[in-house]
Structures are given as structure tokens and as C-alpha cells.
Amino acid sequence: MSQALENLLQENRSFPPSDEFTAQANAKPGVHDEAAEDYLAFWKKQAMDRVTWFKEPTMVLDDSNPPFYKWFQDGELNVSYNCLDRHLEAHGDQVAYHWVGEPGDTRTLTYSDLAGEVNKFANGLRSLGLNKGDRVAIYMGMIPELPIAMLACARLGLVHSVVFGGFSSDALSSRILDSDCRIVITQDGAWRGGNVVPLKDNTDEALKSTPGVTHAVVVKRTDHGVAMQDGRDVWWHDLVDGQSDECEPEVLNAEDPLYILYTSGTTGKPKGILHTQAGYLTGVSTTHSYVFDVKSDSDVYWCAADIGWVTGHSYIVYGPLANRTTGVMYEGAPNYPEFDRLWQIIDDYKVSIFYTAPTAIRAFMKWGDEHVDKHDLSTLRVIGTVGEPINPEAWMWYHEHIGHGTCPIVDTWWQTETGGIMLTPLPGVTATKPGSATTPFPGISADVVDEAGNSVPLGGGGFLVITQPWPSMARTIYGDDQRYLDVYWSRFPGKYFPGDGCKRDEDGYYWLLGRVDDIMLVSGHNISTTEVESALVSHPSVAEAAVVGRKDEVSGQAIAAFVTLRSSASGDESLINELRDHVAESIGPIAKPKSIVFTVDLPKTRSGKIMRRLLKDISENRQLGDVTTLANADIVAEIAEKSSTSSD
Ligand code: ATP
Ligand code: MG
């Protein structure tokens, strides 16, 4: 039988932390071993040190009904209290968010400001007749009212379901229906690339099919004039007008639900992932502190994700605020009005920690170095990535151009379902390798297994699994325990199966290899998409690449590649041959793409992830699968056109 997954790509560069960094780091060498000795004791200590409890838990893990694990089950707390109130006495004047609007307007919210706004809005929500446990849909852009709305829900024990503001009315209504939301919080419009995204109009459309929604609360942001329906719609500013800026936090149980969030939909229909209170807060505050090395008193931290994704929930809102972080929040597009908007913000606010996605990094590379290199960026000291495997060449670009050759890079692997970071370097501990998410976070225990669930020896590839429960894990798929069991817990009994392929090198470092569903079977070899794509991206003409296994009479599957070139390169027949040879030389002839199509873009989710399943549908002339989370529909038609005319 063939190996679970071939190991083709070799990467020998390594970047150890400097002694100075290690000396001042939040997480010190030894922390992994200490946690491994007794992982429950490790998490209990984090929960006691980092959470302010109304009633301290006496229990750590309840594993009586796996995989429906419970953490700190008899504890009582309030997450918004932990993010706000407890900081106020000594640090009320500290900035919580430096907010930058896309048109150039700015707002500064201190912890006192934020607490006051949250309380007023919570009182407003209460006046709408909502009760603990009710679901609230939030469909907004990146304005301060978004975290304010989330924290107000958390304060009252309402369960928020944030729907990314780039989604259509259909995506909104299906998510509202799936979790039976009572109200929607939105805004008239959001700024994006100089245009107004008509969030209120989309909401109106969505609410035609959601009879359970009684109210829409609307923030005035673009002020472009929207229809307000009498009795249903209420302006945010009217709702908070005259409300007290004090609001008692609900005393909640550790396992009460905190939020529902739908996955990105890269592999199919999104799943409504449910997270609860205490374990989640413990997980995100611990990882945020250790992975980003955040110092409450001095750092300026910027996670440039959208709060509509889990990255924003955990690392713009809950983790950073629990850790009393000063953060930056930016409303708009990274290339508006110019390609250097992000770098300008880093210089303006002296940002010291920056977290973004490989898809963004590849876009920066595509746009050209000059936009970055004219900026100082010297205040940066830690930089991170999340969302997809990062190709080693993109990692090196990030290291050189953003991290000025010295910032530790934290490549963080995790998912909506895991709530917090799972595999990652610790910047004062781990020697990084470009393209590797390195090792499990302290207190997390992972493995790479074959089809039969047996551990694959170091040097080999297979399926990533998590072998012990962890506090910030999903509790279920909302309303569908059976699907939760089927998708994550049935393939390898007793182990959590995230759906990603992975290999480990001789040092025990983990290398994520893409989705298991996307693995290509070529002449009896299981080949990961990531390794072939990284080989393509290591060619100087290539900015981005996606590969899929297309049905082939000879080899079972043949590798079909879709390649976006850097702005300086032009795609012709000779480059196709050059790229095929380049892949064969760098990782082996078995991985040589049979066909290559040049395209200006690739089909991506609205969170920017490549949707290989659509490329596979195109390659095999099939009707496209679920496209509700697709961001750029035009490109699919264009690629389909090119694929049908390209020869092998
Ligand atoms: P769906 O589950 O609906 O298909 P999705 O998996 O894209 O959507 P997310 O939870 O946003 O939804 O993404 C998690 C996935 O992103 C991981 O399972 C993994 O495939 C990928 N990922 C995230 N971070 C990394 C990383 N650092 N390296 C490699 N892959 C990553
Ligand atoms: Mg997923």
C-alpha cells in the first residue's frame, strides 16, 4: 500500500529566537514539557490565573460523555466583565482600540469608553425584550460597534452569530434561520474599497424569509439613506439614547453558550460551530499571550483579519481584550486608497505585533515590493499568519519585507472549531522553519496518523489528529450533534479529526499539507496540494498557485495546476514547460503538473482561501458544488473557459 501522504518538499532553513527575545518572552523554554506532564493542571492554572470568576470552578474536565466535553463546568463568570470591567479601575484610560475608518476618519476607544458603550447598548438590547440564550445575528463591517455589539451580547448571555459583512443576503438569511436568531444588528452601509456595501438593503432582503426576527438595529455609518421599517427597524443611536452606561453583567455558567460562528465554507456547506464561555476565554487568552508575546502596557497589536471570521473573534475581540491589549482595528480594504494602506497604519500607530493571512501576503507580493519597502515598519517585533499553509517563499518574503529579517514569525494552525491556536511556534522558544506551523501549543496534544489511525513515524505524512480535549474546543455544531460526531469524531474514534493532511519532519515539526479532501492520488501516490503549490510558488515568476487531481485514464488522477503570475511575468507555452520542469526538479517527477492554466486570480472564499473543489469541478467538467461562500464568481467562468481550450 502506498504511504498515507508522500513527503516531497524539503526545507532546511531555520530561524531560532534571539537571546534577547527569549529573555523577555511571556512563554519560556520548558513550557511545553511542563504542560505535557499534566495538561489538565496546565489548563487549570491558566483558567485560575487569567479568568476573573464570580464563582471559581472545582472541576477541570468533564469527559463523562465524549466527545461532548465540558470544561470548568461548575464555574461562573461573565466574559464581557473579563474583557472590560476588571481593567477599569487601574487602566480605564488605556486605549482598547485605535480605530481607522477607510475614508480616513479615526476613533480612539479607551477601556472606559468601550465599557460605557457596551453597557449602554446592552441596556438597549434588554429593552427589546431579549432573554438569556436568545440568538442575535450581527451583520456588520469593521466598525467599533461590531465588538461593542458582541460584548453587549456576552454581557447579557445572548448568543451572537456574526455573519461576515461581505456575504450576500442569502448567506445571511440561511444563517439566521439555521440558528433561529431573534434580532439582527447591522449598519446602513460599510465602506469597502471606496464603495458602499449596502448592508441594510441586504438585511431587508434577508428578512423577507426570516419570520422569527423581530428587530433590526442599524448603525448609521455611510449615511447614504436607507429605508427603515416601522416597528421593526431601530437606529442604534436611538436605542442607546438615554440608556445608562452601567449594566450588571449576567452571571453565567462556564458552559453556557457564548457564540455560534459558521466556518468559511472552503470544503462545502458551512457548519454552525458553537463555543461556550470559560474554556474558550481560557484558551484564547492563554494563546494570545504566549503566541504573540503581548505586553499589556507597551504593545500595539494588530490582527488585520475581519471580525466576521474566528480569527477576529478570538484575536481581535476576546483574547486581546481579556489580556488588556491596545489594538488597532481597520475598517477597509488593504489597497485603498493606495497599496500601502496597511504599512502606513503600522507606521502611524507604531504597531509592534501584526497578524494576517497567507492570501494577503501573496497579494502584497503580487502588488510589488515598492509599496512596502518605502515604509519604516521598525516598530514591529512579532508577525504572524493564519488561514492556509504558507508557502515557504511567501514566508521568506514576509520575513524580509515585513519582519525586517528579525521578527519571529508565528505560523498558527487552527480552525473555527478549535476556537484558538493549536499548532504554532512560541516566539521566544521555537526555532521556526519557513512553511511549518512547528509544534502543538502547550497543553495541546496532536499526532499524525495513517488510514488505520496508527501514528506515522517522524518523516512521514498522513492525517492530523488532536488526541486530547482542550478548553476552547467547539462543543457541537449548533442544532446538529450527529453531524458534529460524523464530521470530526467518527473517522478516528476517540480523536478529533480536523480534516487536514500533515507531515512531520525528523525534528517532530508539523507541516500542514492542505485538506484531506483535496489530496491527489497520482499513480498510487498520495500527493498533497500544498507541496506542489509551494514548488510552483518557489519559481520567481509565480505569485500564487492551486493544484487539483483531475481524473486521468493512465495515472488515476493527473495534476492540474492553476497559476497566477507576478506582475512582471508573462504566461506562454515556454513558461508552462519551465514550470513543469521546475516542479519535477524541486520535488520529483511524480508531482509534475500535467496541465497548467494561467489565471489572474483563483476562486476563493470570502475569507480569501483557495477553493480547490471548484477547480476540480471545472477540471472534470462538472457542475459546481456549493458556491455560496465564493468571493469572485467571475473568475470561475473565466478559468472554465480557459481550461476547456487548454491542451495538456
Ligand atoms: P469549511 O470547514 O467550511 O470548509 P474552513 O475550513 O476554511 O471552512 P476555517 O475554520 O476558517 O474554515 O479554516 C480552518 C482551516 O484553515 C484549517 O482546517 C486549515 O485547513 C486551514 N488553516 C488555518 N490556518 C492554517 C495554517 N497556519 N496552516 C495551514 N492551514 C491552515
Ligand atoms: Mg474547516
Please report where in the chains the cell 481584550 appears, as a residue.
321
Contact 220, 237 (CB under 8 A): yes
Count the domains in the chain. 2
Q: How many CB atoms lie within 10 A of CB 229?
A: 11
Q: What mean pLDDT is predicted for residues 158-164?
A: 98
Q: What mean pLDDT is predicted for residues 382-390?
A: 97
C-alpha–C-alpha distance, residues 408 and 380, integer Å: 10
> What are the two backbone dihedrals, phi and then psi, of residue 178, each rounded to the nearest 5 degrees?
-60, -40
Question: Quick check: 380 pLDDT over 70?
Answer: yes
Instruction: Using the mean position of ligand 1's atoms as its centre, give its distance from the Cα of residue 449 in Å.
Output: 19
- The response to whether residue 306 sits with its C-beta less than 6 Å from ligand 1 reads no
Instruction: Using the mean position of ligand 2's atoms as its centre, give its distance from the Cα of residue 267 in Å.
Output: 7
Residue having the nearest C-alpha atom to atom 23 of ligand 1? 387
C-alpha–C-alpha distance, residues 213 and 231, integer Å: 12
Interacting residues of 248 by C-beta distance below 8 A, sequence separation 6+: none
Could you identify the atom of ligand 1 that is nearest to the CA of residue 411?
27
Q: What is the pLDDT of residues 218-276, one digit of tens each?
A: 999 999 999 999 999 999 999 999 999 999 999 999 999 999 999 998 888 889 999 99
Q: What mean pLDDT is predicted for residues 83-110?
A: 98
C-alpha–C-alpha distance, residues 248 and 244, integer Å: 11
Helix (H, G, I), strand (E, B) or coil at 60: coil
Instruction: Using the mean position of ligand 2's atoms as its centre, give its distance from the Cα of residue 514 in Å.
Output: 11
Helix (H, G, I), strand (E, B) or coil at 83: helix
H or E segment to which residue 310 belongs? helix 310-312
* CATH number, domain with residue 551: 3.30.300.30
Q: How confident is the model at residue 2 (pLDDT cuts 50, 70, 90)?
A: low
Domain boundary among 221, 250, 279: 250
User: Quick check: is 468 in a domain?
Assistant: no
Percentage of the chain lying above the pLDDT 70 cut: 99
Q: What is the pLDDT of residues 442-476, one digit of tens each?
A: 999 999 999 999 999 999 999 999 999 999 999 99
Please report where in the chains the cell 473555527 appears, as a residue.
416
What is residue 644's predicted lDDT score, i.e. its pLDDT? 78
Instruction: Using the mean position of ligand 1's atoms as its centre, give its distance from the Cα of residue 165 in Å.
Output: 19
User: Quick check: is 452 in a domain?
Assistant: no
Choose one of 264, 390, 432, 503 to mutate for the ligand 1 pocket test, by most ligand atoms within 8 angstroms of C-beta.
264
- The response to whether residue 264 sits with its C-beta less than 6 Å from ligand 1 reads yes
User: Quick check: is 34 in a domain?
Assistant: no
Could you tell me the three cell numbers for 388?
Answer: 492556509
What is residue 435's predicted lDDT score, i.e. its pLDDT? 97
> What are the two backbone dihedrals, phi and then psi, of residue 7, each rounded to the nearest 5 degrees?
-110, 100
Instruction: Using the mean position of ligand 2's atoms as its centre, give its distance from the Cα of residue 125 in Å.
Output: 32
Q: What is the pLDDT of residues 468-515, one digit of tens each?
A: 999 999 999 999 999 999 999 999 999 999 999 999 999 999 999 999
Assess whether the previous peptide bond of 471 is cis (omega < 30° from 0).
no
Q: What is the pLDDT of residues 561-589, one digit of tens each?
A: 999 998 777 888 999 999 999 999 999 99
Q: What mean pLDDT is predicted for residues 435-445?
A: 98
Please report where in the chains the cell 508575546 appears, as a residue.
293
Choose one of 306, 413, 502 to mutate for the ligand 1 pocket test, by most ligand atoms within 8 angstroms of C-beta.
413
What is residue 646's predicted lDDT score, i.e. its pLDDT? 61
Instruction: Using the mean position of ligand 1's atoms as its centre, give its distance from the Cα of residue 414 in Å.
Output: 7
Domain boundary among 209, 229, 250: 250
CA angle 155/349/424 to nearest 5° reads: 65
In which domain, by residue range, is 585 found?
519-645
What is residue 3's predicted lDDT score, i.e. its pLDDT? 74
Instruction: Using the mean position of ligand 1's atoms as its centre, give its distance from the Cα of residue 427 in Å.
Output: 22
- The response to whether residue 549 sits with its C-beta less than 6 Å from ligand 1 reads no
What is residue 50's predicted lDDT score, i.e. its pLDDT? 98
pTM given for the model: 0.97
Percentage of the chain lying above the pLDDT 90 cut: 92
Q: What is the pLDDT of residues 628-645, one digit of tens each?
A: 889 998 999 999 988 876
Contact 60, 45 (CB under 8 A): no
Contact 92, 112 (CB under 8 A): yes
Nearest ligand to the C-alpha of residue 267? 1
User: Quick check: is 570 in a domain?
Assistant: yes
- The response to whether residue 512 sits with its C-beta less than 6 Å from ligand 1 reads yes
End-to-end CA distance of the chain: 29
Domain boundary among 250, 273, 302: 250
Please report where in the chains the cell 487568552 appears, as a residue.
285
- The response to whether residue 291 sits with its C-beta less than 6 Å from ligand 1 reads no
User: Quick check: is 593 in a domain?
Assistant: yes
Could you identify the atom of ligand 1 that is nearest to the CA of residue 424?
27
Q: What is the pLDDT of residues 302-343, one digit of tens each?
A: 999 999 999 999 999 999 999 999 999 999 999 999 999 999
User: Quick check: is 189 in a domain?
Assistant: yes
What is residue 568's predicted lDDT score, i.e. its pLDDT? 75
Amino acid code (one letter) for 557: Q
Instruction: Using the mean position of ligand 1's atoms as its centre, give its distance from the Cα of residue 630 in Å.
Output: 15
User: Quick check: is 87 in a domain?
Assistant: yes
User: Quick check: is 400 in a domain?
Assistant: no
* CATH number, domain with residue 131: 3.40.50.12780
Three-state SS letters, 144-197: CHHHHHHHHHHHHCCEEEECCCCCCHHHHHHHHHHCCCCEEEEECCEEECCEEE
Residue having the nearest C-alpha atom to atom 14 of ligand 1? 415
Question: Quick check: 596 pLDDT over 70?
Answer: yes
What is residue 566's predicted lDDT score, i.e. its pLDDT? 87
- The response to whether residue 303 sits with its C-beta less than 6 Å from ligand 1 reads no
Residue having the nearest C-alpha atom to atom 31 of ligand 1? 388
C-alpha–C-alpha distance, residues 530 and 546, integer Å: 8
Question: Quick check: 166 pLDDT over 70?
Answer: yes
What is residue 1's predicted lDDT score, i.e. its pLDDT? 38
Could you identify the atom of ligand 1 that is nearest to the CA of residue 266?
4
- The response to whether residue 267 sits with its C-beta less than 6 Å from ligand 1 reads yes
